[in-house]
Amino acid sequence: MKVAVVGATGLVGTKMLQVLAERNFPVTELLPVASERSIGKEVEFKGKQYKVVSMSDAIAAKPAVAIFSAGGGTSLEWAPKFAEAGIKVIDNSSAWRMDPTKKLVVPEVNADVLTQDDYIIANPNCSTIQMVVALQPLHKKYKIKRVVVSTYQSVTGTGKKAVDQLFGERAKAEKGSNAEHPMAYKYQIDLNVIPQIDVFLENGYTKEEMKMVNETKKIMQDDSIRVTATTVRIPVIGGHSESVNIEFANEFDLAEVKDLLATAPGVIVENDDAAQLYPMPLNAHERDEVFVGRLRRDETQPKTLNMWIVSDNLRKGAATNAVQIAEYLLSKGLL
């Protein structure tokens, strides 16, 4: 099976190659695609070197699937060209997520919406993916009315430049280094917290916050769920964390909630107060699961639960989810 990875030299693209290899996706020929300046460079996959090719060359090679992580503009321009050539596209950008003609998929939640006719499939926002994986089993049982979420998001969500900024600032502070480092953010990120992810919109929320609002409803196929979000960047590598407050229509039992989550696909419950066991990005790093803990009732209002959700944003929040979509298509004979 020929597989194209568009944006193969970027942070998420590199992770996609890693995940494809780890999960033994049946790649017979890899087509790494990147910007014009990267054409001819080599990337490694399963111990072999592959030369980066152009978009046009990748389309001409007719892969079965192209996994995109190259930004919204690139996806808007090129995804339709791949699709027209009969190539299934799984796109990690925000370009197609809210397009009513495109499916927005988290396999544990709504893979069954996919059909043979879906040639451009959207991969959701990283912070939305991990939240809906944990919400879905609870929504099926108790029906969610409202979600209040605050995120604590890793610098890896911004990309390599942000990682370099964090470690550049740290080196400067610890070693007195005067070396110049890039600035992915307007402000210092080391020893700081930035309560802005993406641009501000007219309603005072950021684009990231509104992604969580709108994508949650679309993935869970329920426009009645009310979501309000505050998204925050923190100086962490390894994953995004979320504090989530959920109001249900129906009463719940806390022990049953733990059981529902413990048996839900893709979820690991880490919830032991006595042992001080709870999810942390340090432990979620390089894992594909969504970790859930700090499960407790909201004592200020009925039928309301508090929980803490952590997942590796480059894996389940991006690369792994995209590969899982490809795995699902393959398992259903849709590739």
**Among residues 35, 50, 116, 126, which one has the least CA distance to residue 83?**
116
Find the mean pLDDT for residues 216-242.
97
pLDDT band at 109 (very low <50, low <70, confident <90, very high): very high
Is the pTM higher than 0.75? The answer reads: yes
Which tokens belong to 162? 């942000």
pLDDT score of 31 more than 80: yes
The CA distance from 246 to 113, in Å, is: 25
Q: Per-residue pLDDT tens for 149-179?
A: 999 999 999 999 999 999 999 999 888 777 7
Residues 106 and 133: beta-carbon distance below 8 Å = yes
Is the pLDDT at 294 greater than 90? The verdict is yes
Which is catalytic among the residues 126, 139, 181, 285? Answer: 126
Supply the angle between the helices 11-22 and 320-331 in degrees, to the nearest 10. Answer: 40
Judge whether residue 288 has pLDDT over 90.
yes
Instruction: Give residue 217's pLDDT.
Output: 98
Domains present along the chain, CATH in parentheses: 2-124+318-331 (3.40.50.720), 128-313 (3.30.360.10)
pLDDT band at 281 (very low <50, low <70, confident <90, very high): very high
Reported as a single tens digit per residue, the pLDDT across 71-83 is 999 999 999 999 9
Query: How confident is the model over 113-124, as a mean pLDDT?
Result: 98
| Whether residue 181 lies in the annotated active site | no
Q: How many CB atoms lie within 10 A of CB 147?
A: 21
Mean pLDDT of 316-328: 98
In the chain, which ranges are continuous DSSP H helix?
Answer: 11-22, 55-60, 72-84, 107-110, 126-142, 160-175, 207-219, 254-262, 281-284, 320-331
Contact residues for 165 (Cβ-Cβ < 8 A; gap 6+): 155, 181, 182, 183, 184, 185, 189
What is the percent of the chain where pLDDT is above 90? Answer: 94
Alpha carbon distances (Å) from 72 to 67, 94, 177, 323, 334: 13, 6, 36, 19, 25
Cα(first)–Cα(last) distance of the chain, in Å? Answer: 9
Catalytic residue among 139, 181, 240, 285: 240
pLDDT: which is higher, 35 or 156: 156
Provide the CA 229 distance to its chain's centre, in angstroms: 16
Using alpha carbons, select from 180, 71, 206 the residue that is nearest to residue 127.
Answer: 206
Query: Mean pLDDT score of the chain, rounded to an integer?
Result: 96
Catalytic annotation on 240?
yes
pLDDT at position 180, please? 82
Could you give the angle at which helices 126-142 and 254-262 cross, rounded to 10 degrees?
130
> Which of 19-23, 178-182, 185-189, 225-229 bottoms out in mean pLDDT, i.e. has the lowest?
178-182
Asked if residue 324 has pLDDT above 80, the reply is yes
With a pLDDT cut of 70, the percent of the chain lying above it is 100
